[in-house]
């Protein structure tokens, strides 16, 4: 699954980063976050359902959803929980990396490893577990998790579509109306931004590039921040982005510096995860001769940005970044 491939990519790259260099801003926010099973973390101030319900998840399990769950683990689904006003009992992490862009809401929430070890999950005493894909509960894993707490698995179709995934989580938590309102608010924000961009940079193109461990990646035109730029905001898709998007199914696809030299984008959004180690690739003449770079139309963001994720919260932050960069 495409989203899962981004998780795998993030996991492997951040594990390497943890050994090769200090993790900069991530250190302060992750090193002192350890499980605290004595503290109750409320899921939300109010739930729409006061009685337990039995629902069927994407892989056919009948799951008894407790009334007003208060200790939810939904690893890598925290964007949706935050959008719905729900605070999980633990949040996704990998090596020294967490979803920094959510920390205004989740700063006090302890971390849990992305692969959800059974003992670690049990230590948080969850009353509901939501899995973002069937892979996470493959084999006998589901049985092990379901012994800890009711476990609901999101389907592959929803897993590849943040909107459908948000609506599904809203349904599971009895917050259907709230989920739809989040989507309506996001669509209104995107439509307003699209009008501003059409006036400020009519017909102009953009691309998003991620530099990590001296390797460049380009976002696919129809996934992650590509969807925000091209579908939601109407920016033009460069030919090189179209070409690279056919080379794989992941959100972020590897691209050589030689190929980037052909990039015909008017604007370039650079997510730089190598800023702490010198960003050597940005000193290469090939990089400096990319038209957007030569014209001063590069907008750089750090590794804690929401650009590497997707969801109503992440995408809304991207829209702000794009407007601040392109609308003068």
pLDDT in tens, 13-34: 543 343 333 333 333 333 333 3
pLDDT, tens digit, for every residue of 114-161? 999 999 999 999 999 999 988 999 999 999 999 999 999 998 766 679
pLDDT, tens digit, for every residue of 244-286? 999 999 999 999 999 999 999 999 999 999 998 889 999 999 9
Cα separation, 50 vs 69, in Å, equals 10
Q: Name the band, by pLDDT with cuts 50, 70 and 90, for residue 225.
A: very high
**Quick check: 325 pLDDT over 80?**
yes
What are the domain boundaries of the chain?
Answer: 32-173, 190-326
CB atoms under 10 Å from CB of 96, counted, come to: 18
Cα separation, 136 vs 159, in Å, equals 12
Cα separation, 210 vs 275, in Å, equals 12
Are 11 and 114 in contact by the 8 Å Cβ rule? The answer is yes
What CATH number does the domain located at 32-173 have?
A: 3.40.50.1980
Same fold, 32-173 and 190-326: yes
Residue 229 is predicted with a pLDDT of 98
Percent helix, strand and coil across the chain, each to the nearest 5: 45, 15, 40
Q: What is the mean pLDDT of the chain?
A: 87
**Quick check: 44 pLDDT over 60?**
no
- Helix 162-172 to helix 312-326 angle, to the nearest 10 degrees? 140
**Quick check: 12 pLDDT over 80?**
no
Q: Name the band, by pLDDT with cuts 50, 70 and 90, for residue 6.
A: low
Report which secondary-structure segment, H or E, holds 8: helix 2-20
Query: Which residue's entry shows tokens 């924000």?
Result: 189
Higher pLDDT, 162 or 14: 162
Cα separation, 85 vs 269, in Å, equals 30
Query: Which residue's entry shows tokens 């931004």?
Result: 193
From the list 238, 233, 234, 193, the residue with the least C-alpha distance to 218 is 238
Q: Quickly name the fold that domain 190-326 has.
A: Rossmann fold (3.40.50)
Give the burial string for 212-236 (b: 16+ CB within 10 Å, else e). Answer: beeebbbbbbebbbbbbbbebbbbb
């Amino acid at each position: 699954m495409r989203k899962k491939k981004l998780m795998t990519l993030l996991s492997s790259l951040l594990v390497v980063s943890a050994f090769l260099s200090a993790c900069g801003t991530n250190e302060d926010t992750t090193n002192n976050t350890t499980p605290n099973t004595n503290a109750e973390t409320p899921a939300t101030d109010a739930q729409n359902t006061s009685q337990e319900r039995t629902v069927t998840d994407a892989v056919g399990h009948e799951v008894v959803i407790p009334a007003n769950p208060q200790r939810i683990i939904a690893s890598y689904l925290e964007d949706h929980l935050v959008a719905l006003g729900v605070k999980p009992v633990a949040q996704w992490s990998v090596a020294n990396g967490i979803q920094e862009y959510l920390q205004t809401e989740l700063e006090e929430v302890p971390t849990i490893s992305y692969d959800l070890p059974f003992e670690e999950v049990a230590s948080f005493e969850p009353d509901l577990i939501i899995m973002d894909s069937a892979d996470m509960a493959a084999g006998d894993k589901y049985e092990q998790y379901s012994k800890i707490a009711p476990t609901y698995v999101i389907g592959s179709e929803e897993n590849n579509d943040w909107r459908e995934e948000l609506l599904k989580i809203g349904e599971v938590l009895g917050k259907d109306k709230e989920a739809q309102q989040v989507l309506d608010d996001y669509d209104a924000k995107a439509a307003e931004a699209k009008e501003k961009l059409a006036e400020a940079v009519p017909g102009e193109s953009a691309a998003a590039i991620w530099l990590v461990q001296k390797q460049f990646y380009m976002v696919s035109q129809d996934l992650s921040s590509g969807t925000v730029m091209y579908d939601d905001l109407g920016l033009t898709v460069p030919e090189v982005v179209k070409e690279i998007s056919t080379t794989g199914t992941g959100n972020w696809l590897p691209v050589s510096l030689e190929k980037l030299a052909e990039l015909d984008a008017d604007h370039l959004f650079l997510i730089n995860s190598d800023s702490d180690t010198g960003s050597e690739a940005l000193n290469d003449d090939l990089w400096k001769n990319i038209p957007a770079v030569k014209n001063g139309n590069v907008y750089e963001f750090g590794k804690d940005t929401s650009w590497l994720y997707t969801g109503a919260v992440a995408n809304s932050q991207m829209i702000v970044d794009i407007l601040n960069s392109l609308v003068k």
